[in-house]
Amino acid sequence: MIFIIRDCSAFMNFLSIVQARARRALRRLRHAGAVIVGDYARLVEDAVVTEAIAGQIRAAQLATIKQYFTAIVAANVFNVCVLVAALWDSSLRTDALVWAATAILCVALSARPYPAAVRAAGPAMASVRSMRRAIRNGVLLGAVWGAVPALMFADAPESGRDVIICLCAGMMGGSVLVLGSAPAAAIGMIVPLVVGSIIGLAHVPGRECALLILLVLAYAFVLIDGSTRQAIDLVSRLLSRFDLERLSCRDSLTGLPNVAGLREAIKLAITRGARSSESFTLFQLDIHRLRDVNHRLGYAVGDELLRQVATRLRASSRDVDLVVRLDSDQFAVLALGLSGEATVRAYANRLLACFQQSFVMGGIEHSVEANLGAAVARDPTSRSDDILRNAALALSIAESLGPGQAHFYTVADEISRQTRDALERDLRDALTTEKLTLNYQPFLDIATGGVVGFEALLRWKHPVRGFVPPPEIVALAEERGLIDALGAYVLGAACAAAATWPGHLRVAVNISPLQLRSRSLVAMVESALRKSGLSAARLEIEVTESALIEDQALARHLLSSLRDVGVSLALDDFGVGFSSLNYLRHLPFDRLKIDRSFVAETVQNPDAGAIVRAILGLARDLRLRVTAEGIETEDQLMFLRENHCGEAQGYLIGKPMSGDAVAAYLERQTQGLAA
C-alpha cells in the first residue's frame, strides 16, 4: 500500500512537471506568435504599447539589417560568385549564370530601400511598412537561394553538391544572424531555403539524403527557435524600459504626466507645428497658499486638494490637450491649435474657473485661488526650454498682480526679463563688492526731544540707472534667491554701525516677507549681533503686515524666537491692512509704527486725527510703544505731542543720512538740547 501511494505521488509530481513545462511551452509559443505578427502588448503583462512605442520596437528589430547592410550585399554577391565558380566546369554552367544574374537583381531590389534608412537621422522609428518590406526581402532572398538546391542539386557534381549544401546552411545561419531580431523576416528567408533543400535532396536516392533532410529540418527548427527567443528577449527588454520611462514621466499622486512628459509633448508639438504651421499654448497654474493648507490641515488634505485640482483641470481641458503636474503646487496645460488671442484668453478663463467653486475635503469646504501664466508658441524654431521659461515668466508676473490673476507672455516681458537678468547680475556684484550702502533716519523721543535711535535704510547707486528704489531691490532679491544674502548684509552692516553709537541708541532693520518664511532668520540675527558685539536689546526688527499673511504659524514661531534672542519687534505701516488687530492679539510685538498716510492728514482731516488717537489709545491699553512715521511739519509733531505719542520719524526730525553723518547729527542734537 505504501509503495502504491509513493508511486501515485511520484506520478502526480511527474504530471505537475509536465503540465508546468507544457504551460511554459504554450506561453513561449504565444510569445513567439506575438513577436512574429507584431502584437507586442502580449509579451509583457499590463504593457502600454502605443504606435510610437511600436515604431521604436520595429526600429530596434530592423537595426541589425541597417547595421550590416553593406555586409549583407557583399556576402550575397560573394556567395553567388562561389556557386558559379563551383559549377563552372559542369553542365549547369548556363543555368548557374542565369541564376546568378537573377540573384544579383534580387539582391539589388531587396537592398534598395535600406540606404535611406541607414542614413536617416532623428528618432529611431520604423513603420509597419518597413517591417513588411523586410519580410518581403527575406522571402525574396530565401526563394532565390532555395531555388539552387531545388533546381541544381540533383544534377550537380559531387563537389558542387558540397558547395550547395554549405552555401544553403550558411545562408540559413546568416539569416538568423542578420534578421534574428525580426523573426518574421528570418522565417521568411529560412522556409524557402528549407523547402528548396528538401526538394533537391528528395531527387537524390539514398539513405544519406533522407538523413540530410531530417538534419535540415532540425537545423531550421533550431534557427527559428533562436530567432524568436532573440526577438522575445529584445522586445521584452524594450517594453520594460518603455514602462519605466512612462512611470518616470508620470506624477504618482495625481496620475498626470510630470515635467519630463511635458518636455517630450512640447517637442512633439514643435515638430507638428513645423509641418502644419499649427501653434500651441502652454498654460502654467500655481495654487495660491498650498503650503498654508498643508500646515493648517495636514498633508493628506493637501494631497486630496491636488487630486481634485487635477480632476477639474482634466474636465476643463479638451481631449487633445495635455494636463501636467509640474511641481508641488504647479500644474500646466498644453493646448494645441488655439487660434487667436480671444480663444486663448477664453481657455485661460475656463481653467481659472476650476478654482471658483470650493473644494470639499474631509466634509469641509475650502476656497482656493490660483494664478495663471500663458505662452503661445507660433515659431517653429522655438525650443521647449524657451516655451517653459516664457510661461513661467508670465506666471510670475500674474502672481505679482495678486491671487486669481492671469498674464499672457509678450515680447515686452522678455525685454523686461533681460533687463532684470542684467540687474540681478549687477546686484550680485554689488553684494560681493560691498557697493550697497545704508542710510540712517533718526527716531525722536517726542517728550524729551532727544534722538533714541535710527532706522537702517538700504541704498544702491547703480552705475547706469542711478539710485534703485529699495522696494525694487528687495523684490528682485526675493525673486532671484538673493534675499538671504541681502538680509545678512543689511543686518551685519546695521549692527556694526550701531555698535559705534552711544549705548542708548537702537537700530531698526526691516525684514522682507520672504525672510519671515526662512527658518535661517534667527541664526542670521544672532550672527550679526555676535560679529558686531551689539547688545540684542539695541536691535529692533520691523515687520510689515504683508510679511505675516502667508504663514502665520511660522511667523509666530520665528517672531517668538527673535524675542527669545532679546531683540524687540515692531509692526510697520500699522493701520493700512485689514488684519492688523488680529496680529496684535496673536504676535509678540513691542511697538507699532503708524503709517505716514494717517499722520499726513491729522491736522487737515478730523477723521485721520481720530484714527491716530484711537491707535494711540489701543497701544496704551496693550502696553505697546508707538512711533509715528512721515512727520514733516511742526503742526503734525504738535498733534502727536498733545496725544502722548512716544516717538516720531520723518523729514522734520531728520532726513536719511550716511553712516559717517550720524555722529555729526547726534552732536548737533546734543547741542540743541543743551541750548
Sign of CA dihedral 590, 593, 594, 595: negative
| Residue 65 maps to a domain | yes
CA distance 629 to 648: 6
pLDDT at 668: 86
Q: What is the pLDDT, as a whole number, of residue 371?
A: 94
Tens of pLDDT, residue by residue over 260-282, are 788 878 887 887 776 667 788 99
Q: Which residue has the cell 558685539?
A: 533
Beta bridge partners of 359: 366
- Reported as a single tens digit per residue, the pLDDT across 288-332 is 877 777 777 788 888 888 899 999 999 998 877 888 998 878 999
Shared-domain flag, residues 435 and 293: no
204 by DSSP, 3-state: which?
coil
Please determine, for residue 565, whether its predicted confidence score (pLDDT) is greater than 70: yes
Mean pLDDT (whole number) for 594-606: 83
Q: Could you say which of 409, 435, 465 is where a domain stops? A: 409
Predicted local distance difference test score (pLDDT) of residue 651? 92
Report whether 456 contacts 659 (CB < 8 A): no
Q: Verify that 318 and 436 share a domain, yes or no.
A: no
7 within domain boundaries: no
Does 302 share its domain with 239?
no
More confident residue, 47 or 544: 544
Q: Could you tell me if residue 4 is inside a domain? A: no
The candidate with the shortest Cα–Cα distance to 464, out of 507, 504, 435, 485, is: 435
Distances (CA, A) of 352 to 262, 319, 329, 357, 450: 20, 18, 15, 10, 56
Same domain, 334 and 444: no
Residue 541's pLDDT is what? 94
Give the whole-angstrom CA distance, residue 459 versus residue 468.
7
DSSP 8-state secondary structure symbol assigned to residue 383: -
Tell me the percentage of the chain whose pLDDT exceeds 90: 23
Q: Is it the case that residue 97 has pLDDT exceeding 70?
A: yes
Instruction: Kindly tell me if the per-residue pLDDT of 115 is higher than 50.
Output: no
What CATH code is carried by the domain that includes residue 620?
3.20.20.450
| Per-residue pLDDT, 109 | 76
Task: Report the percentage of the chain scoring pLDDT > 70.
Answer: 84
Contact 507, 538 (CB under 8 A): yes
The rounded distance, in Å, linking the Cα atoms of 506 and 490 is 15
pLDDT for residue 244 is more than 70: no
pLDDT score at 122 = 40
Residue 629 pLDDT exceeds 50 = yes
The boundaries of the domain holding residue 642 are 420-665
Give me the CATH number covering residue 349. 3.30.70.270
Q: Distance between CA atoms of 547 and 474, rounded to whole angstroms?
A: 13
Residue 334 carries which DSSP code? E
Whether residue 168 is found in the same domain as residue 209 = yes
Mean per-residue pLDDT, 201-205: 80
- Total structural domains within the chain: 3
CA distance 384 to 280: 12
What value does the mean pLDDT take over residues 547-561?
74
Decide if 23 is inside a domain.
Answer: no
Which of 368-372, 475-479, 648-652 is predicted with the least confidence, judged by mean pLDDT?
A: 475-479
Same domain, 370 and 483: no
Q: What H or E segment, with its residue span, contains residue 469?
A: none
Maximum average pLDDT range among 16-30, 508-522, 540-554, 569-583: 508-522
Both 459 and 595 in one domain: the answer is: yes
Q: Which of 246, 270, 301 marks a domain boundary? A: 246
**pLDDT on residue 297:** 76
At a CB cut-off of 8 Å and minimum separation 6, what does 192 contact? 139, 142, 143, 145, 146
Residue 551 has pLDDT above 70, yes or no: no
- The residue among 409, 433, 464 that closes a domain is 409
- In a shared domain, residues 538 and 633: yes
Claim to verify: residue 644 and residue 544 sit in the same structural domain: yes
Distances (CA, A) of 165 to 138, 149, 204: 19, 8, 13
Are residues 170 and 298 both part of a single domain?
Answer: no
User: Is 530 a member of any domain?
Assistant: yes
Q: Within a domain: residue 364? A: yes
Overall average pLDDT of the 554-583 stretch: 79
418-431 confidence digits (pLDDT tens):
888 888 899 898 88
Q: Are 158 and 291 found together in one domain? A: no
pLDDT score for 176? 75
Domain for residue 365, yes or no?
Answer: yes
Residue with more model confidence, 233 or 457: 457
- What's the pLDDT score for residue 530? 94
In terms of domains, do 513 and 579 share one?
yes
In a domain, 254, yes or no: no
